[in-house]
Amino acid sequence: MSMTNDDELLIGLLSISDRAAQGVYADQGIPALEEWFGRALASPWRTATRLIVDDQTRIEETLRELVDEVGCNLVLTTGGTGPAPRDVTPEATLAVADKVMPGFGEEMRRISLNFVPTAILSRQLAVVRGKALILNLPGQPKSIRETLEGVKAADGTVLVNGIFAAIPYCIDLLGGPYVETVEQVVKAFRPKSALRPPPEAGAGERPARP
C-alpha cells in the first residue's frame, strides 16, 4: 500500500554495502543524500531508507518493495556500480525495470569525468519501474553531490548541469508530485508549458518524522 500523497515526493534511499550493512563502518550515502535534499528541495518530501549487503536478489527485492509497496516516486541507490565481482547494483536495477533511461548514466559519467578519470569504470544507470524513477548513484558523498548538482565555476555559474535538473520533469511525466528545487543548489528544467507558479515561502520544509 502506498505511503505517499499527491503533493509529497517520497524518495527511496538504498545504500548497498557489505561492510556498512554489517556495522564495520557507518553508512555515508544515505546521510549525504538526506542532507542534499534538505538543501535542494523547495517542495514537500520524505524518505524511506534501506541499508543492505551487495546481493543481487536482495537488491531486487528491496527495489520492488520501495516502488511497489512503499510507493516511492524516486529511488536512489548508492554503491555497487563498479567492475568488481560483488558490484551487482546495475544488474539488479535492470532486472526490475520496465524501461531503461540511458541518458542518466551517460550524463553521470560525463559529470564525474570532470573530477576523476576512473569515473569511466562506473556502470551507473537509470530505469523506470511503474511510475517510479530508479537511479544508481556513486557511493561517496562528494561524488553524489557532484552528480546531482553538476559542475560549477568558482562564482557559482553552472558549467555542466547535474542530473537532478531533469528529474522533476521526469517525475511529472510519470504521474508523480510536482517537485520544486532551490535554484541556488540545482535548477529544475521544465518546458514552459509544464511550469507552475512558484511555491510559497517555507513550502519545502521537511516534515517531522512520526
Question: Measured between alpha carbons, how far is 113 from 104 in angstroms, rounded to an integer?
Answer: 14
Q: Which residues of 93-110 are buried (b: 16+ CB within 10 A; e: fewer)?
A: beebbeeebeebbebbbe
pLDDT digit string, tens, across residues 56-77: 999 999 999 999 999 999 999 9
pLDDT digit string, tens, across residues 113-152: 988 999 999 999 999 999 999 999 988 889 999 999 988 8
Cell of 97: 525495470
Question: For residue 40, what pLDDT is reported?
Answer: 97
- Give percent of the chain with pLDDT exceeding 70: 91
The ranges assigned to domains in the chain are 9-194
Ranges of the chain whose pLDDT falls below 50:
1-4, 207-210
Question: Measured between alpha carbons, how far is 85 from 97 in angstroms, rounded to an integer?
Answer: 22
Let me know if domain 9-194 sits in CATH 3.40.980.10: yes
- Give percent of the chain with pLDDT exceeding 90: 73
